Amino acid sequence: MRTRWITGLVALPILIYIISWGQGWILSSVVAAVAVLALSELFRMLYAATHRMTRLLFTSWGYVVGVWIVLSAASGSSFGAWAGVFLEVLCVGAIALNRFSEDPDVVDAVVKHVCAVIYIPLSLSSLVWIHTAVDGVIWIYFLLAVVFAGDIGALYVGTYRGRNKLCPTISPKKTIEGALGGIASNLVVGLPIATFGIPKLTFLQAVVVVLCLGVASQIGDLFESVIKRTYGIKDSGAILPGHGGMLDRIDALLFAAPVGWILKTMWG
């Protein structure tokens, strides 16, 4: 726990600088780097038993298209990112045609690849779209504060007050009390920021946004746990002391960021 807090406090001023003073390309470049690191951890799981050449082709292309999708979001338009997704499907289809004679299981690799690109780079592009929009900086702080508060609240309430298991077959340590503590933390932290920092939101809208972000982040956390349990690992990596891998750190954000972008587009 101590290492976890030290890592977070060291990263905090860097994060604040990137959000507040980094231009669109700076933020998108950092997000692209995060996407590549998370993809590398996910591909290591998904392709552990895949034919070596198939694995090399798919992972290499995944990094290229992942960077393309995130960087294209810096323009503020979603066109480049969605064009990247179409290009992704086209190219992995072409790779499958080339590899099928030597690797009959290549279709399984294709499905995993397309899902991985949507799951990580496309989801993270939502952060760039939010950041480039009107009032984008405060929305980014709002989104991150809600997600991180929920994570901390769920951790501490679950650790000290957790009694009833939430999803024991997926994540044995997570409890119903922890999940409720996370939602309460979402509201305690998120509502004041929305009330004073985002005047376009009514109080009811702010409550809906915070709850949607909180629920989405918990689903994202559990979804990554499903992936790790499927492949029999505890952490996706070890790049962040106290947190595990990059994917372990952003799992909640991968589900919350698109929800935040949708709600900001509707109401913000």
pLDDT band at 76 (very low <50, low <70, confident <90, very high): confident
Q: Does 4 score more than 80 pLDDT?
A: no
**With helix as H, strand as E and coil as C, how does the chain read?**
CHHHHHHHHHHHHHHHHHHHHCCHHHHHHHHHHHHHHHHHHHHHHHCCCCCHHHHHHHHHHHHHHHHHHHHHHHHCCCHHHHHHHHHHHHHHHHHHHHHCCCCCCHHHHHHHHHHHHHHHHHHHHHHHHHHHCCCHHHHHHHHHHHHHHHHHHHHHHHHHHCCCEEECCCEEEEEHHHHHHHHHHHHHHHHHHHHHHCCCCCHHHHHHHHHHHHHHHHHHHHHHHHHHHHCCCCCCCCCECCCECHHHHHHHHHHHHHHHHHHHHHHC
pLDDT digits 0-9 by tens, 156-209: 999 899 999 999 999 988 999 999 999 999 999 999 999 999 999 999 999 999
> What pLDDT sits at residue 5?
58
> What pLDDT sits at residue 14?
81
Spatial separation of the C-alpha atoms in residues 240 and 47, rounded to whole Å = 23
> What pLDDT sits at residue 25?
82
> What pLDDT sits at residue 239?
76
Q: Does 78 score more than 80 pLDDT?
A: yes
> What pLDDT sits at residue 241?
66
pLDDT band at 12 (very low <50, low <70, confident <90, very high): confident
pLDDT digits 0-9 by tens, 253-265: 999 999 999 999 9
What share of the chain has pLDDT > 70, as a percent?
94
Spatial separation of the C-alpha atoms in residues 217 and 151, rounded to whole Å = 8
CA atoms within 13 A on the CB side of 114: 17
Average per-residue pLDDT for the chain: 92
> What pLDDT sits at residue 65?
97
The vertex-142 CA angle with 140 and 146, nearest 5°, equals 120
What share of the chain has pLDDT > 90, as a percent?
78
pLDDT digits 0-9 by tens, 209-238: 999 999 999 999 999 999 999 999 988 887
The string over 182-201, giving b where at least 16 C-beta atoms fall within 10 Å of a residue's C-beta and e elsewhere, is bbbbbbebbbebbeeebeeb
pLDDT digits 0-9 by tens, 108-136: 999 999 999 999 999 999 999 999 999 99
